[in-house]
Each structure stands twice: as structure tokens, then as C-alpha cells.
Structure 1
Amino acid sequence: MSNSGAGSASSSSSSPGRKEKEKDGRPRQFDAKAKTLCWARADTVPGRHPERWRKDAAGNIVCKRFFNCSGCLCFEYDHIIPFSKGGESVVENCQILQTRVNRFKSDQPEVDITRLQGYSCDITFTDKELDIIEMAVYGNVIRPGNQCRCRTVAEMLGTYKSKDSKAVCKLPES
């Protein structure tokens, strides 16, 4: 479920960046290292930059910048074995899940993938739509293996001329 720290023994007086702990001393949230490794373990999206895009445990495409929000490309770090059921906040017990899927999963342990898929947003994005979203979120589009680079928003508006020597490519038409 969500790692927002709700129900934590720590109050709002805890310092930012400090891991909240329950009464039994277990950290409720995943630390930065666990989150990094959890993201790296998730399936990559073919043709997309792996630092920006991944597939969650149900096969949904999620964007790294959309952490802890509610849209169909948003995700949360989920305890596979729920924290409330004794699951630890360690990388081995971590998976990324589309926010909607994580909320429906709630505190159920190891939900079958077909049930997780049933909770998913019923939206699929075309490559062009993902390019537009990536351009809006990151200011450019990176396609692994391409020798070109997509223009930034500032370049498209004519307010910036890149010093990058790679050839500029265009967003796909389809």
C-alpha cells in the first residue's frame, strides 16, 4: 500500500528526510536505496529510457516523475507483503505499482497478477502520446539506441539553440 507514513508513530515534528518508524521501531517507508533498486528491478519499457519509464508489477507503464500522484502513469512503492502484515521496508519486499492498483491492492498480500491488472487504468498510450508526455515532463525525449535527440520545448519555441552536436529528430507522426 502507499508509503505515505499514515498511521506512523512519528508526528509532523519529525525532520524532513527522516524515515518514519512505527511503535515497534520498523521503518514504514522504503529508503532511497531501496526505491532506486526497486525501480531498477521493474521491467523496462521497450523503446523508452529506463530511468524515465518502467512497467509496474501489473504491466502498466509508469513515469518516474509521477511518483505519489493519482493519474494512470503515476506509481507508488508497494510492500509486496503489506507492512501491516509484518512486511519489511526492504528492496526484496518492494515493487512499483500504478497508484490506482496499489490503492485497490491495499493490505492484501501477494495479489495475483490478473487481479492487479483488473485494478489498472483502462488506458493505453501510443508512442506519440508517450513522447508528448515525456517532452512535457522532462523537456526532451530520449530514445535508447537513437543517435538523434528530440528538440527541447525551448528549441521548438525558438528561445534556445542547443549546443548538443547530435542531430535533431522529430516526434513520430503516427
Structure 2
Amino acid sequence: MSNSGGSSSTSSSSSSSSSSPVGRREKEKEGRPRQFDAKAKALCWSRADIVPGRHPERWRKDAAGNIVCKRFCNCSGCLCFEYDHIIPFSKGGESVADNCQILQTRVNRFKADKDEVDKTRLQGYSCDINFTDKELDIIEMAVYGDVIRPGNQCRCRTVAEMLGKYKSKDSTAACKLPQS
């Protein structure tokens, strides 16, 4: 008797859990991943606009034209970004490269589950700081330990080299950071 009672309670609890909001979310998770996989993220990053004079593996422009740094994914500063569903996940958008764009974090928070938000409206929610080349160089140096510019490779001088106490054996030209 306890066996038949146990099996009937199991079947009723499983059918009630699939109709509950929690049960539906669990089924969604199984069939539709919410997060983009590494391949989709890599394609999304590579499709974003390049920042002229900056290394494309480190810097890109988001869909609103904001400069973002690859190391600042899923944080909340002005150079931070998130991978965004163009068609929101909540409205049936899939977590695939063709439905992915990078957006500055604060812009992505504004967009939330809206679709078809034009670039001008997105720009209105962008961070209003415009970084100079020198500031971006300093940030890149702090984050990556060096500054790489496409077609203009350089290396950083040591303090001893700057003081004339050491001559580098590296033939690559030393960095010349912008002064303004």
C-alpha cells in the first residue's frame, strides 16, 4: 500500500512541478542555455567594431559606439561590458553568436528586455567619459602589463634604462606614450 501511495504522490508532484514557475524555468534551462558559450562570445567580440589604433583583442566598440576593454567583462565601470541578447532571452532570443552583441554594462542594464532599441537611444545611456589615448595607454598598461598598438609594436622602458644606467638588448623601439 505504501508503494502505490508513493508512486501516485511522485507522479502528481512531478506534474505539478512542471506547471509551476520553478518547473518551467528548470525546463527552459535544460533546453535553452541563458548564457553565451565561449565560441559565441569569441564571434561576438570579433564582429564588434575595432577601436582605431588599439589592439583588437583587447579593445572594441560596443553597439552604441562605446570603447570597452576585454578584461572588463561583467563589471560596472565605463570601460566594462556584457554580452547582450539582441532579441532578449525573455522574448525567445537564443544564446547564439547571431543574437549576440557587446554592450557597455550600464547600456545593457537600460536595454534590459527591450528589443529594437536604436543606437541613438543606447548612446543616451552610455557613460559620458571620453578617454584620451594617454588614459587608455595607462589603463592598458595596468590591466595587461604592456601597451600593444597594431603595426607599431613597442616595449616599455625600465627605470634604469630611463636613467641611463642600463641599455636594453631588445631592439624593439621603446614606448613613447602620448604627453597630452
The code of the aligned residue for 2:145 comes to G
TM-fit CA distance, 1:24: 5.8
1:122 matched to 2:128: yes
Q: TM-score, normalised by structure 1?
A: 0.81
Q: How many residues align?
A: 154
Separation in 2, partners of 1:92, 1:82: 12
Q: Percent identity?
A: 81
Unaligned stretches of 5+ in structure 1? 1-6, 11-20
SS, match of residue 103 in structure 2: strand
Query: What letter is aligned with 1:60?
Result: N
The yes-or-no answer on 1:46 pairing with 2:52 is yes
Q: 1:145 Cα deviation (Å)?
A: 1.2
Distance 2:169 2:37 in 1: 37
DSSP 3-state at the match of 1:133: helix
Is contact 1:26–1:88 with CA below 8 Å preserved after alignment?
Answer: yes
Of residues 58, 61, 67, the one that matches 2:73 is 67
Deviation at 1:165, TM superposition (A): 3.3
Question: For 1:56 and 1:103, how far apart are their aligned partners in 2?
Answer: 14
Instruction: Name the SS for the 1:72 alignment partner.
Output: coil
User: What is the CA distance between 1:23 and its match in structure 2?
Assistant: 4.2
Q: Distance in 1 between matches of 2:151 and 2:173?
A: 14
Instruction: Report the residue type matching 2:41 in the other structure.
Output: K
Query: What is the alpha-carbon distance in structure 2 between the residues aligned to residue 98 and residue 32 of structure 1?
Result: 19
Task: Kindly indicate which of the two structures has a greater share of residues assigned to helix.
Answer: 2
Residue equivalent to 2:154:
149
The CA deviation string for residues 62-87 of structure 1, in whole angstroms up to 9 with x for no partner, is: 00000000000000000000000000
Structure 2 CA distance for aligned equivalents of residues 135 and 54 of structure 1: 17
Look up the SS of the partner of 2:110 in the other structure: helix
Distance 1:48 1:68 in 2: 21
| Contact 2:134-2:177 within 8 A present in 1 as well | yes
* CA distance in structure 1 between the aligned counterparts of 2:168 and 2:28, rounded to whole angstroms: 49
Q: Is the 2:137–2:177 Cα contact (8 Å) retained in structure 1? A: yes
Instruction: Report the secondary structure of 1:96's partner residue.
Output: strand
Structure 2 regions of 5+ residues with no counterpart? Answer: 1-21, 162-166
Matches of 1:41 and 1:93 in 2, distance apart?
Answer: 12
Cα distance in 1, alignment partners of residues 109 and 160 from structure 2: 40
1:112 corresponding residue in structure 2: 118
TM-superposed CA distance for 1:105, in Å, is: 0.4
Report the Cα distance in structure 2 between the residues aligned to 1:129 and 1:173, rounded to whole angstroms.
Answer: 10
| Kept after mapping to 2: 8 A contact 1:45/1:54 | yes
Which of the numbers 45, 56, 64 marks the counterpart of 1:58? 64
SS of corresponding position for 2:84:
strand
Corresponding residue for 1:101?
A: 107
What amino acid maps onto 2:32 in structure 1?
R
Root-mean-square deviation (Å): 2.5
- SS of the aligned residue for 1:149 comes to coil
Query: Counterpart of 1:168 in 2: which secondary structure?
Result: coil
Conserved? CA contact 1:150–1:171, under 8 Å = no
